Amino acid sequence: MEINKFIDHTILKATATEDDILELCKEAREYSFFSVCVNSCYVPLAKKNLEGSDVKVCAVVGFPLGAMSTEAKVFETEQALKDGAEEIDMVINIGELKSKNYKKVEEEIAAIKSAVGDRVLKVIIETCYLTPQEITLASELAVKAKADFVKTSTGFGTDGARMENIEVMKKAVNGQAKIKASGGIKNLDTALSYIEAGVARIGTSSGVSIVKELKK
């Protein structure tokens, strides 16, 4: 199995420096990861350093809280795409979902998908803050808004990916969107268990050690 092709090689911490991004890109080339996932300010740097490789650049938007205006998220998306991002991972407005403003949540995802066009949009629903019913609803709203993926977590909440939440998401999207597991995926066993459960992508900063573990 080419586990490397499931991995979005990720660095999103506030302290990430330009050197960290260069190292991330170097590792992504070396291990042929599917993409690097970075904060949007680093898209131009990542794009430049991945030229000539087939590693994609993925940018997060509205990260990590999701509590910005829709207009701000759309602008950030458009700028990231202009700078060379090929995939966008957006955070939903969790407060709006919990306020039962479902139409607003769906419209925001749709507005961002409209900006993304035929490129890939992943919707981070931050499962650690949601009940199973809310996870179902958020996943269904993402599908209605034509998102390509639903994603478990930012990695900055109180918890990361959990198998029981993957099952809820899988049932909710019913094959109409793919699933990305992220948050706390640090070893081969965990990554493989999610892939076996049907996730199409893994977001992790431990991609190198996961691939090395597989080679052993």
- Give me the pLDDT at residue 113, please: 98
Instruction: Exactly one of 89, 113, 148, 170 is catalytic; name it.
Output: 89
Length of the chain: 216
Q: How many other CB atoms sit within 10 Å of the CB of residue 148?
A: 21
Chain-centre distance for alpha carbon 184: 13
Question: What are the domain boundaries of the chain?
Answer: 3-215
- Give me the pLDDT at residue 145, please: 98
Instruction: Exactly one of 56, 122, 151, 178 is catalytic; name it.
Output: 151
Q: What angle do CA 72, 76, 78 make, to 5 degrees?
A: 115
- Give me the pLDDT at residue 83, please: 98
- Give me the pLDDT at residue 1, please: 76
CA gap 152, 14 in Å, rounded: 20
Q: Quick one: 3-215 is in which CATH superfamily?
A: Aldolase class I (3.20.20.70)
Instruction: Exactly one of 73, 122, 178, 180 is catalytic; name it.
Output: 180
Where in the chain does DSSP place strands (E)?
Answer: 7-11, 35-39, 56-61, 87-91, 120-124, 149-151, 178-182, 201-204
Indicate the burial class of 216 (C-beta count within 10 angstroms; 0-12, 13-18, 19 or more). Answer: exposed
Residue whose pair of structure tokens reads 């599908």 in the numeric block? 143
DSSP state of 5: G
- Concerning whether 180 is annotated as a catalytic residue, the answer is yes
- Concerning whether 151 is annotated as a catalytic residue, the answer is yes
Total-model pTM: 0.98
CA gap 146, 202 in Å, rounded: 21
Residue pair 206/178 in contact (Cβ under 8 Å)? The answer is no
Q: What is the pLDDT along the chain (216 residues), one digit of tens a residue?
A: 799 999 999 999 999 999 999 999 999 999 999 999 999 999 999 999 999 999 999 999 999 999 999 999 999 999 999 999 999 999 999 999 999 999 999 999 999 999 999 999 999 999 999 999 999 999 999 999 999 999 999 999 999 999 999 999 999 999 999 999 999 999 999 999 999 999 999 999 999 999 999 998
